[in-house]
Amino acid sequence: MIKRLLLYILAGAILLAVAASADRGYKDTALLEQYAAEIAAYLDTQEEQGLEWVQEHKNTLEKVVAGRGVSDQEAWINSLTAQADVPYTLLIHQKDSLLFASNNKILPLPEQFNTILKGKRRSVQQLALGYYYVSYSPFDSTKTQTLLVPVRFTLEETSHQQDGVLFPANEAISEKVELNLASGDHVIRLKDQDLCWLRASGTVQAGWVQWVKLGAYGLILVLVLALAFQAAMYFTRRGWALAGAGLLLALVAGIFWLNRTTGFTAHAFNQLPFFTQRFETTSLIGGSLGDWLIHLALLLWLMVFFHRAFRLEDLENLPPLPVRIALSMVCYLLVMLSVLVGVEVYRQLVFHSTINFDFDNLLNFDSFSVLAFVGILMLLLAFFLFGHRLILTALQLELPTSFRIAEITASALLVYLVAFGYQDSFQINALYIAVFALVYVAAFDFFLVLETPGLGGIVLWLMLFSLSSALLLYRYNYLKDKSVRLSYVKALATDRDSLLAEPQLKKILPRIQQDTQLNRLLKPWPFKPQSAELRKRLNELVFSQPYLFQHYRLIVYAFDKDGQILPQDQAKGRDFVLTQNWRRAKPLPNEPAIRYHRGPDGIFRYMIKVPALRMNDPTQPVELYCFFDHQYPQPTRVYSELFFQLPYKNLNRLMDYDFAILKNGRLVVDQGQGNQAVFQNAPANGQVQEQFTEQPRRVDAVYKSADGKTIASVGRPLGGWYKQLYLFAFIFALTSLFIFLLALLNTYLRFLPKYYHFNFSTKGSLAKRIHYGNFALIGIAFLGLGYLTYQHFSTSAQETKRANLDNRAEAVRTHLRNQIGDLSATSDSLKRALPQTLASLAASLSTDVNFFGPDGTLLFSSQNDLAQLGILPNHMSPQAQAMLTTGAQREAVVAEQLAGIGFSNRYLPLNNNQNELLGFLGVPYYLSDRNIGPEVSDFIGMLASVYVFLMLIAYSVSFFLSRSILRPVNLISDKIKQLQLADKNEPLVYPGDTQDELSALIDEYNRMVEKLEESKGQLIRLERESAWREMARQVAHDIKNPLTTMKLSMQQLERVSSDPVQAAAYLKKAITRLIEQIDSLAQIASEFSMFANLDIRQKQDLVLNDVVESVYDLFSEQKEVKLVLDIPEDRYHIKGDKNHLIRVFNNLIINAIQAIPSDRQGAIQVSLFRQNDHAIVQINDNGGGIPPEIQKRVFEPNFTTKTSGSGLGLAICRKIIEALDGVISFETRENDGTDFYVKLPISTPETAGQVELSEAG
């Protein structure tokens, strides 16, 4: 014990040292230096590869920039395809005019080219997508080649939620690492030049270090728990089970409290995904998914100890009836209260965690959802062990069935009262909880009484747990969904965005007011500024607030000092801007320069008024108005899905619903497949309600504003009962896999209760081998078929989505050709028609559209703001351009990247009616593998449900098939067990197919029985003859001594007959001797007769206690020995013959008395006790014991160690006990005594409590 403790302490110290060194020695300074070195090496490698590629394709590049054709077009396309996969972008330009780009991952704007050329030849500069390493050098005498290598992307929202990374040099670099272009401590140095510096905005630590810490602290926890478990089990073995349980509870409570108060896991593992996703509450489920799993592991560990420690198997004397009733009631009540705890845990997990439980689309579960379900399975296993131990304890108290039924019912009533008191918290009808608790406990009690462990019992429990969990989780998920919809509909009906938009407007207002470029862009009189230029500059300022940029469209209006429209392309005048909007708008509190208003066009907008000066001239003041028109997110816009992930008003799940808004009788927005009929049944002003629709089956939350002008609805299709069936199938499959792994571990570790046989051992059971083999083959077939089906339909769904996007692209090209087919590529009408035509097409088809000129330059984009900021490339993919300009292909689908995020782009050439190339149409699309449509999910769910039920059917069929196969074998086995030489053995009748293999086996068995009967007859005859010979020999031997004595006496009498005096004297002595020998012969004859004719056919109901007491009374007056009697209060009824039993016990006590040496004070103890379903009478003496050499012959007939007697006493005793279906045995200790045991089956147990009840009645 001491050695093990020291080993634990040593291992814990080593692990603690590892965790501490990892926590303190490898972060911040050292890590940032490592990152800086990695980035420098990465930049150097990329630069070398880029320059090598330029030198390798120098001649081709010269032809391309000169506008000449390429000789080997295919090789050039392959080279450009390879360039699409490299991180860098190689540009050839003449001043600010782009001539060639190896890819379009980053294409600087013209003004950015000037900034690049003004800087150092090697530097790090901030562009639209992030920080880039810039290296430029002459390409020829007039052109420059510039290499751009991404260092750090700055679109954090996008990078977090999509597949991109922040640092291409090392994907593991934390988002807390930032770049500083001025100076710092951790320099990125390349070719003896300082490029930039790294800094940390918080604690930075490598991800693998946190995994090491997690492993070390996890092992420390395992060591502490193992040590505590050993100590608790030690207390339990000493009879202090409550002390052991208190120790473990105190340890677990201490761990829980320490983590909750210090936030240890949140700080120590803040870069591990399942600890960073925080929960909304830390009550039962913990603060994160990692805490949830840790808590459940601790709970399961406690339940394993509880199941092992608190047992009643060794209980010999049951407590009084009232105590047993109270204990049993407590057991049943605790099990039912655990149901309440489980319900509350489920509620908190669904309501207060941030885990996605999309039960209507199970295939969209992420890894966090699956891990949460693993936690649920651990919770169910812990509750199962808890309930199993308590109900098994209740059954071991041996209360009548009526008592247990009453206690279960009473416990259910108490649970109902508790649930009713907390019904608002549980959010489920208390009656449902009480009924489930009643069914759960009653089923547990029923199965334990039937003793049905094994795989069949486990399957039944899996079905019960899976069904209850599916119903409960689905119900809570619906209630959470309802609360979300009710809150969302109120938010949508409210125009103001005080949570996010208004604070960001307040942040950008001073930036706009202090910006000097706006004054320069306004231009002096008589020149007119361009609205597009003003809007571009303002978008650059607004883009620092991505939420505002995403959800509000910026429109700029400017008026000179005379109130005249200043920009020449401004469409709206002062009446619209001032009269209809600004003057009717309400200012924000404490911010009069920012106002909000819903305009006459039905659009809600925020407005900012900025005073400005044309070229900073005080004599030319300008009124500048920035209108931020709210626009609702478009669900299928590719660039929005890639770059804009900030939800409107923090309504994170808004895009999962159909929603619509009605303003003053005008439908402002209608996204999805909502039911506008709900507006006709709108609630009263300021009220919200939930409306159900049968056709189509859906549910909508509807809210009407307090002024009655706005009605909003948020809803979704409502899943039927089959959705719950799909969830049941999912949980059942996951639980089955969990049980399989658990059984596999328990097969080798043996850490679970033996009662349920949680292992895969098939030794000694051919039925198990057949059953498990068939079930495994069917299961593997179903799993393989299910996986292939899933892959097929997932691929089909992706192809369908791709085809849908392709159809949209074709529709855009067809419609565009019809609209501008008469125009030429050089006409101004084309440039004027493109924006309006493509904008309406993109809006109607809910897709993004780009249009490039014949030279590949971007002319229009449906996300024009992104293009003006340089986020979207201003040139088409060089790979696609090369593929389409050859004329060999009618379209090109290429893979592109922006900020490390990959997507596809479909390029289509557009010709006019004269077959002249007008340009190229680009339609991007992003196919996410993580989101599978509801149709595919429903089909796979239905298929999974069918597979689960087929598996259950297959399990049943396999079970009965294995039994049917082995039934004849078992029949033969039973017949073989019944083979006896005493009775007639009947042949076996096989009801199955007479032509199968088993029929042949049974025929052989019947032939063997016939031969056995023949042999038995011969054997009986031989044994009868042998028995007669043995009997004759034994009788001859036993009567020989008395006859010899009689003969000698008669001969002596004959010799003295001649002398009357001697004859008279000897005659009396001879007569006495003759009588003794005749008595001896009579006794021998009597014992042989009894042994031969012993037959106990009349069995009566006896109380064994009374028989033992009567024997004790018979010998209690013996003075040679001290006789002690020990019998319990419980009375044991048996079936037997009282006289024969008394003879057995008399014989055993007489033998015990005779075995005690004369020099020793004799002590004999007669005890009666119960062992399972048998009563045992123990007769213990302190005699000399039985020598080893004769122990095997003690019960043989005619064997004795005495000088007199036939040796049939113990043989007769054994024959009597075996006739009563009992067993007689002994244990002996040399020179210390012998214990004889008589074990008899109890027919009707009668406890002391029952005696009391019967007497009272």
Specify the pairing of strand 1244-1246 against strand 1233-1241: unpaired
Tokens of 167: 């640092």
Bridge partners, residue 587, by sequence? 595
pLDDT of residue 91: 95
C-alpha to C-alpha distance for 477 and 718, rounded to whole angstroms: 12
Q: Is 988 helix (H, G, I), strand (E, B) or coil?
A: coil
Nearest to 1168 by CA among 1159, 1178, 1158, 1182: 1178
Are the CB atoms for 15 and 223 separated by under 8 Å? yes
360, amino acid identity: D
Q: What does the pLDDT look like over 856-865, one tens digit per residue?
A: 999 888 888 8
Nearest to 161 by CA among 292, 372, 356, 358: 356
- Farthest-apart Cα atoms in the chain, separation: 184
C-alpha to C-alpha distance for 706 and 687, rounded to whole angstroms: 8
- By residue count, the chain amounts to 1257
Q: Is 1022 helix (H, G, I), strand (E, B) or coil?
A: helix
Are the CB atoms for 1150 and 1114 separated by under 8 Å? no
C-alpha to C-alpha distance for 727 and 563, rounded to whole angstroms: 65
pLDDT of residue 1250: 46
C-alpha to C-alpha distance for 491 and 754, rounded to whole angstroms: 57
pLDDT of residue 1090: 62
Specify the pairing of strand 658-663 against strand 130-138: unpaired
Nearest to 1132 by CA among 1248, 1255, 1242: 1242
C-alpha to C-alpha distance for 899 and 905, rounded to whole angstroms: 15
Torsion angle defined by CA atoms of residues 330, 333, 337 and 339, in that order, rounded to the nearest 10 degrees: 130
Tokens of 878: 């060089």
List C-alpha distances in Å: 460 to 152, 752, 1231. Answer: 56, 18, 57
Phi-psi region of 682 (alpha: psi -120 to 50; beta: other; left: phi over 0): beta
- Helix axes of 241-262 and 289-309: crossing angle, nearest 10 degrees: 170
Q: How many alpha carbons lie under 13 Å from residue 798 in its C-beta half-sphere?
A: 11
Taking residue 1000's Cβ as centre, other Cβ atoms within 10 Å add up to 12
Instruction: Give the residue ranges of the chain where pLDDT is below 50.
Output: 158-162, 314, 1203, 1247-1257
pLDDT of residue 1245: 55
Please tell me what DSSP assigns to residue 875.
B
3-state class percentages of the chain: helix first, strand second, coil last, to nearest 5: 55, 15, 25
Burial of 733 (0-12, 13-18, 19+ CB in 10 A): buried
Nearest to 967 by CA among 937, 950, 990, 939: 990
Helices (H) and strands (E) counted in the chain, each on its own, are 35, 31
List C-alpha distances in Å: 20 to 224, 263, 1100. Answer: 17, 17, 77
C-alpha to C-alpha distance for 309 and 238, rounded to whole angstroms: 11
Query: Which DSSP string do the residues of 257-295 spell out, in sequence order?
Result: HHHHHH-HHHHHTTTSHHHHSB-S--SSS-SBHHHHHHH
Q: Is 1233 helix (H, G, I), strand (E, B) or coil?
A: strand
Q: Is 1119 helix (H, G, I), strand (E, B) or coil?
A: coil
Listed in sequence order, the DSSP H helices in 1116-1208 are 1138-1155
Bridge partners, residue 1179, by sequence? 1166, 1236
C-alpha to C-alpha distance for 1138 and 1179, rounded to whole angstroms: 18
Taking residue 209's Cβ as centre, other Cβ atoms within 10 Å add up to 18
C-alpha to C-alpha distance for 1144 and 1179, rounded to whole angstroms: 11
Are the CB atoms for 356 and 368 separated by under 8 Å? yes
